[in-house]
Amino acid sequence: MSDATAKKEERRKFQAIRGTRDLLPPETELWNRVEQTAHEVFATFGFGEIRLPIFELTELFTRAVGGETDVVAKEMYSFIDRAVPDIDRASGQVFSREVLYAGGDAFARYVDRFEGFLDRLKSAYETGEIPSNDANRAGIERLEKYRATAREKIQWGEFPASPEAVADYAAAAFAFVQGMQLGYPLALRPEATASVCRAYIEHGMQSLPQPVKLYYTGPMFRRERPQKGRYRQFYQIGAEILGGTDAPAIDAEVIEMLMTFFDKVGLQGATLYINSIGHNAENCRRGYVATLKSALEKVKDQLGPDSQRRIDTNPLRVLDSKLESEQPIIATLPHIADHLCDECKTHYSAAKRQLELRGVLYQENWRLVRGLDYYMRTTFEITAPGLGSQNAVCGGGRYDGLVELLGGPPTKGIGFAIGEDRLILSLQESGKGQTQQGRDVYIAWMGERAYAAAIRAARDLRNAGFSVELPPVEQKFGKALSQADKLGAKYALILGDNEVSEALWTLKTLSTGEQQKFPEPELIDFLRNQKSQS
Ligand code: AMP
C-alpha cells in the first residue's frame, strides 16, 4: 500500500461515528442562541436548570421508559461497567500463576489472599459497590464453600500435590468469579425524564415547595437508523414539573411556556397537537384499549407485521403508525375521547379551556398516544415545517405515576422534550437560522509602535464586548484588508506610524470603504453607538 493510500485510509478511519456529528461555527452560534433563549424563557416561568449525568443504571431506563419499548429494547447504548478498581485488580492478582507456582507453603498463602479477596467482595456486595443480583449472590455462596474446603484441606495437611493441582484449584474459583457481574450495567441516557425523577427522589425534592420546576439541555443517545433529523447522538431541551397538583392550568402553562419559547427563537409554522389518553383504569384507558384491541383483531389481516405484533404487545402504539397503507384502516378505529372516565374528561376540557385563556392555539389529535402505563391525561406534540418525515420537534405529556414507579412518593408530573437538532434544522430551512459571522474589528497594524497600540486597542475593544482579530505578525495593509474582508469583519482599524504619531486612529467601514479618523478614546464610543443602532 502506498503512503498516500495508507494516509487516506487512516483519515477515513477517524471520522465521526455514524449518527453522530460535529457541530461547527458559525452554526454553533445558532445553537447557543437557542439554548440561551431557553434559559431566559424558562427562567421567566420559574424553572431552574438541572445538569444530569450522561449515563445511568440501565435499569433506570428499563423501568421508566419500559423494557419493551424500541428505545430501550433495541436502541440503547448499554454496557457493563468494570468492577470497583480494587476488586477489578484483585480478581486478576489473587488467581495469578506466580502465586500458584511459588512452591513451599504457596497453597496456604494463596488461600489467605483468596480469603481477603472474598471478604472484600462480600462487603462490596453489602454496600452496593457491586450489583445485588442472582449471579453475584450465587457466586459469593460458591466461593464461601470453596473457602471452607480449602481451610479444611489446610487443617488436615492435604495440600495439593503439584503446582498444576493448585492451578486447577484456583481456576475453579476464578471461574466462579468470572460468572459474577462485578460492574453495574449502565446505559447512555436515551432521554432525561427518568434521570430528573431519579434526582427528585435522590435529593428529597418532595420536601421543597411544590411543584418543583426543572429544565435541562444536553445530548441523548439512541441507536436509530440515521436520516435527516434523526441522529444517534441528538440534543434535547426539556422541562419537567414535579409535585403539587395536577390542575389543568399546570398542563396549559407548561405548553404556553413551550410555545413562548418557540415564538422567541423564531420558529415558524409550529403546530401544537393535543390529546388526552385518560388514566390506567378499567372505566377509562384500559377499557378503551380492550375495545381498540378487539377492533384491531377484526382488521388484523389488513395490517403490516409491526402493527399485527402490537395488537398483542401494545395496541395503542398501532395509532402511531405512519405506514401509508394502514391509514384508512386506522381512521375507522374507536377514539379514546369516547372512553374517558368523567374525571379525565373534565380534566381534558379544563386543560383546553386553560390553553384558550392563554391564547395558545391547538389542534386535537386523537391518535397522539403514549404506550406506557404511567402516562396519563394530557399528551402533546409540536410539529414544524421543513423536516420531512421527522417533523416532530417536541413531545410531552403528563406522567403522574413515574416518580412512584422509581421508588419515590406518589407525585404528579408533566414535562416535554424538544428535539434541538430538528428545531435548528427548521429554523435554518425557514431562513431564521442566520448567524452573525465574522469579527467586529480587524486590526491592521504596521510597525513596532503601532503594534503596541494595536495590542492595547484589542484589549480595550474586547473588554467593551467587540470581537476583535489581531494578526500575530505584521502584514502589508493591502493584505491585512483583504484578510479582514475574508473574515467578514465589519471594520478595519488601521494603525501605522502616522496614526500613532498623530494619535488619530483610522477606522475603515469595510462594506462602504468609508474611512474616518478618531482620537483613541472616541473610537470605542463611536463603535458602541454604531452597534446600538444596528
Ligand atoms: P421523545 O423523547 O421520543 O418523546 O422525543 C422528543 C423529541 O426529541 C422528538 O419530538 C424529536 O424532536 C427529538 N428526537 C427523538 N429522537 C431523535 C433522534 N434520534 N434524532 C433527533 N431528534 C430526536
pLDDT tens string 87-130: 888 877 777 666 555 555 667 777 888 888 999 999 999 999 99
Q: Which atom of ligand 1 is nearest to the CA of 238?
A: 6
CA-nearest residue for atom 10, ligand 1, is 394
Residue having the nearest C-alpha atom to atom 21 of ligand 1: 230
- Quick check: CB of 469 below 6 Å from ligand 1? no
**Predicted pLDDT at 184:** 96
| pLDDT in the model for residue 197 | 98
Q: Is residue 220 scored above 60 in pLDDT?
A: yes
Q: What is the pLDDT of residue 87?
A: 84
pLDDT of 158 reads 72
Per the structure block, which three cell numbers stand in for 358?
A: 392563554
Query: Above 80 in pLDDT, residue 436?
Result: no
Please state, for a pLDDT cut of 90, what percent of the chain lies above it. 72
Under a CB-based contact definition with an 8 Å cutoff, are residues 436 and 29 in contact? yes
> How far apart (Å, rounded) are the C-alpha atoms in residues 158 and 374?
61
SS3 438: coil
Structure confidence at residue 165 (pLDDT): 73
Distance from the CA of 388 to the center of ligand 1, in angstroms? 14
The whole-number pLDDT of residue 438 equals: 78
pLDDT digits (tens, 9 = 90+) for 412-423: 999 999 999 999
Tens digits of residue pLDDT in 439-469: 999 999 999 999 999 999 999 999 999 999 9
- Return the residue whose CA atom lies nearest to atom 1 of ligand 1: 395
Comparing CA positions, the residue from 238, 200, 255, 206 lying closest to residue 377 is: 255
Report the pLDDT value the prediction gives residue 435, as an integer from 0 to 100: 76
Ligand 1 contacts CB of residue 392 (under 6 A): yes
Burial of 457 (0-12, 13-18, 19+ CB in 10 A): buried
The answer, yes or no, to whether any atom of ligand 1 lies below 6 A from the CB of 394, is yes
- Alpha-carbon gap, residue 504 to 519, rounded angstroms: 5
Q: Cβ distance 154 to 110 under 8 Å? A: no
Pocket flag, ligand 1, residue 383 (CB < 6 Å):
no
Q: Is the CB of 421 under 6 A from ligand 1?
A: yes
Q: What's the CA gap between 271 and 392, in Å, rounded?
A: 10
Q: Does the C-beta of 191 come closer than 6 Å to ligand 1?
A: yes
Q: Which atom of ligand 1 is nearest to the CA of 222?
A: 19
Rg (CA), the chain: 32
Asked if 515 contacts 496 with a C-beta cutoff of 8 angstroms, the reply is: no
Q: Residue 164: pLDDT band by 50, 70, 90 thresholds?
A: confident
- What would the pLDDT profile of 311-321 be if each residue is shown by its tens digit? 998 899 899 88
Length of the chain: 534
Atom of ligand 1 nearest to the CA of 231: 20
Please state, in angstroms and rounded to a whole number, the distance separating the CA atoms of residues 197 and 188: 17
For position 371, what pLDDT does the model report?
65
Whether residue 371 has its Cβ less than 6 Å from ligand 1: no
Overall average pLDDT of the 509-532 stretch: 91
pLDDT digits (tens, 9 = 90+) for 347-389: 999 999 999 999 999 999 999 987 677 789 999 999 998 888 8
> Which of 61, 76, 389, 390 has most ligand 1 atoms within 8 Å of CB, for mutation?
390
Residue 161 pLDDT class (50, 70, 90 cuts): low
Can you say how many angstroms the Cα of residue 509 is from the centroid of all Cα atoms in its chain? 43
Beta carbon of 248 within 6 Å of any ligand 1 atom: no
The pLDDT value recorded for residue 146 is 87
What's the gap in Å between 220 CA and the centre of ligand 1? Answer: 9
pLDDT digits (tens, 9 = 90+) for 45-102: 999 999 999 999 999 999 998 887 888 888 999 999 998 888 888 877 777 666 555 5
Q: Whose CA is nearest to atom 15 of ligand 1?
A: 419
Residue nearest to atom 17 of ligand 1 (CA): 230
Q: Who's near 503: CB < 8 A, 6+ residues apart?
A: 519, 520
Read off the pTM. Answer: 0.89
In this prediction, residue 267 has a pLDDT band, given cuts at 50, 70 and 90, of very high
Q: Is the CB of 417 under 6 A from ligand 1?
A: yes
Q: Is the pLDDT of residue 155 over 80?
A: no
Is the Cβ atom of 235 under 6 angstroms away from ligand 1? no
pLDDT (tens digit, 9 = 90+) per residue, 15-52?
999 999 999 999 999 999 999 999 999 999 999 999 99
- Dist. CA 235–CA 436, nearest whole Å: 23
Average pLDDT over the chain, rounded to an integer: 91
How far is residue 76 from each of residues 61, 183, 220, 422, measured CA to CA in Å? 9, 18, 10, 20
